[in-house]
Amino acid sequence: MSDNLHTRISSVELNDVITRYPRSIGRNAVLGTHGTGPTAPAVTISTIDGATGWGLLGGRCDDPGSLIGKRVDEIFDLGVGVLDPATLWADFALHDLAGILTGQSVHTILGDHGGREISTYDGSIYFDDLDPLDAPRGIDVVLENVQDGWDDGHRAFKIKIGRGFTWMGEREGFQRDVEVVRAVHDAFPSARLLVDGNNGFSVEAAINFLESVADVGLFWFEEPFNEHRNGLERLRDWRRSTGGEVLIADGEYRPDVDEVVRFAEAGLVDVLLMDVVGFGLTPWRALAAKLGGSGIKISPHAWGLPIKTCYAGQMAVGLADVITVEGVRGQTDGVEGGYAVVDGMLTVPDTPGFGLRVV
């Protein structure tokens, strides 16, 4: 099938994709209101024989025309991905194009090492209880948001915590975090719950929080604090002493990837979270191959764009050890695909490339 990649690139076009969330998304521990959906840059690559692939831009692109006239197999290998780091801005478009040219889904290009049963979670449970500023809606609106996600097919929910880092007093915010998690657990006892601190906790506060919700059975605690060995060791020791099974997930925000991987190899981090697009599919392929058989789980961060959930879903089917996929609910203008969430599981299409059609 690699012979199909001998064709040459005829055009490269930059464009934008617009996301629309089902509602305005509120604050987290460090950032203000996230709004109703962002606009993101994308790139479309066409070949002389009429094939077209497209994807989100994977980094800065100063000269998109530099690819014109090149053979696809000069810059992309089915077993590796993008060959030149300087071309990683086209990572997703080239994977999509390779799938179109060879008639394979991206997950098949990646090796189909994962299963077809892909768990996903709704990543949109933010601090909506604190808004609007002049009349905060309280915990009930968080429960309404979870219900919306449940009605949309989700059975797992990641709850943002860390209100005391920026928006409330430390003690008051901590208590509200506990109340929110407990309220969601009480209202949806069968739901899998994850929490994300956005590095808004001290080590002591992170442990106190876990003690305060120990009976909830959290699946993971994401980015409790800026990762450092001493703090992660203390958290590991606490988990060991209590028999706690909560996973520690890290590596999303400006990670030192080598260091976070070392923490994972030392048993201090259970799940690696580097961003789907910010880290890149080609680097993820290399890292997944390196980690194979180590027991370290991965879950590429997808928040912000529903398309990133689609990418992460392809990775979950294609690569080994993807433990779950972050679900970003919403629509992308002019884009359709065969992805769906049913009873907490993400369906990923077998159509060539990423299966995302521009209409």
Q: DSSP string covering 237-259, please?
A: HHHHHHT---EEEE--SS--HHH
What does pLDDT average to in each consecutive run of 10 residues of the chain (359 residues)? Answer: 88 98 98 97 98 97 95 98 98 99 98 94 99 97 99 99 98 99 99 99 98 98 98 98 96 97 98 99 98 96 99 98 98 96 98 96
Supply angle C-alpha 130, 133, 136, rounded to 5.
45
- Beta-carbon neighbour count of residue 136 at 10 Å? 13
C-alpha 353: how far from chain center: 19
C-alpha 26: how far from chain center: 18
Residue 22 to residue 284: CA distance in whole angstroms: 30
- What is the location of CATH 3.30.390.10 in the chain? 2-104
Q: Which CATH number fits domain 2-104: 1.10.3720.10, 3.40.1360.10, 3.30.390.10, 3.90.1150.10?
A: 3.30.390.10
Q: Kindly give the pairing relationship between strand 9-20 and strand 331-332.
A: antiparallel
SS3 216: helix
Task: Identify the helix (H) or strand (E) that includes residue 15.
Answer: strand 9-20
Q: CA Rg, the chain, in Å? A: 21
Residue 87 to residue 255: CA distance in whole angstroms: 21
**What architecture (CATH level 2) is domain 118-358?**
Alpha-Beta Barrel (3.20)
Closest CA to 82 of 69, 97, 68: 97
pLDDT score of 277:
98
Q: And the tokens for 161?
A: 């915590």
Whole-angstrom distance between the N-terminal and C-terminal Cα of the chain? 28
Facing residues of 346 across strands?
Answer: 118, 341
Residue 315 to residue 277: CA distance in whole angstroms: 12
pLDDT score of 359:
86
Residue 97 to residue 76: CA distance in whole angstroms: 10
pLDDT score of 117:
87
Supply angle C-alpha 24, 144, 187, rounded to 5.
145
DSSP state of 140: H
- What is the location of CATH 3.20.20.120 in the chain? 118-358
